[in-house]
Amino acid sequence: MSEPLAHENLLGAYLKDRRSKLDPAALGFPAERRRTPGLRREEVAQRANISPTWYTWLEQGRGGAPSADVLDRIARALMLTDVEREHLFLLGLGRAPEVRYQRSEGVTPRLQRVLEALSPSPAVIRTATWDVVAWNKAATVVLTDYGALPPHQRNILRFIFLDPRVRAAQYDWASVARFVVGAFRVDAARAGAATAVQPFVDELCRLSPEFAALWRDNDVRSHGDGVKHLRHPILGPIAFEYSVFAVDGRPDLSMVVYNPVDAGVVAKIRELIDAAR
């Protein structure tokens, strides 16, 4: 049985494969007859602004561990997708690259259909900065009619700190507020959005002294699952088991699903959805 490839050789094989997929002419290099398809090693090195010798060593498994900066430049030179760039870092450094935050542009129709299939459990998709960008009908009748609000107001922190109706629906608003701020801080940092979210944080600090005080505490919270208690104007006191799921391929998004604890509430939510139609 042959020995497994060395870690560096896996990296080299991946680099060689990726450069073979690129069109030299499209990138401004001579289109003369080549022995192998794709870019030459020195052309990748030129695009990445690194030494041709160093790049050759990486492909041959003789270069040692490259830096994150070098891998990032090679990823751009090879025009890698986010998934391909992550794979490059896993091969080269044994870890994923630092997250590059990208503002969400909404969700696909397929993902929206997933939300609707979860009804009558309320479900929403939120960004790393806790803007709600998609929801199902159950969320509309139980949580908030997001569709009736301008997009910039569909933010969970805005609801908790600036909406008296949402505040009154919480059984222990102070605990909920502290939890939300701590979880929001973790999500923003994890998604690489700490800088992008600062103007929003500054705005909330101006509008809500309570938020400003909690933000100064620098508290962080984990929020993968738990139980949510609400006072609903029609359903009365209700409890949900909630779970937070990552959206594969979209590090900027997460899905939150609220399953009613009481089976009797399910039928009532269905009635509210039917009435809303």
Q: Do domains 7-93 and 109-276 have the same CATH topology?
A: no
Nearest one of 251, 256, 265, 268 to 146, comparing CA atoms:
256
What 3-state class would DSSP assign to 33?
coil
pLDDT at 190: 79
| Domain assignments of the chain as residue spans, ordered by start | 7-93, 109-276
Cβ atoms 237, 170 nearer than 8 A: no
The fold adopted by the segment(s) 109-276 is Beta-Lactamase (3.30.450)
Blockwise average pLDDT, block size 10, the chain, 277 residues: 52 89 86 82 92 90 82 91 84 77 74 94 92 95 93 94 94 94 88 84 96 92 84 92 86 90 90 86
Task: Report pLDDT for 90.
Answer: 87
Provide the pLDDT for residue 120.
Answer: 93
The pLDDT, as a whole number, for residue 103 is: 65
Claim: this prediction has a pTM higher than 0.75:
no
Considering the four listed CATH numbers 2.60.40.10, 1.20.1260.10, 1.10.260.40, 3.40.50.620, the one that applies to the domain covering 7-93 is 1.10.260.40
Cα–Cα–Cα angle for 249, 254, 256, rounded to 5 degrees: 145
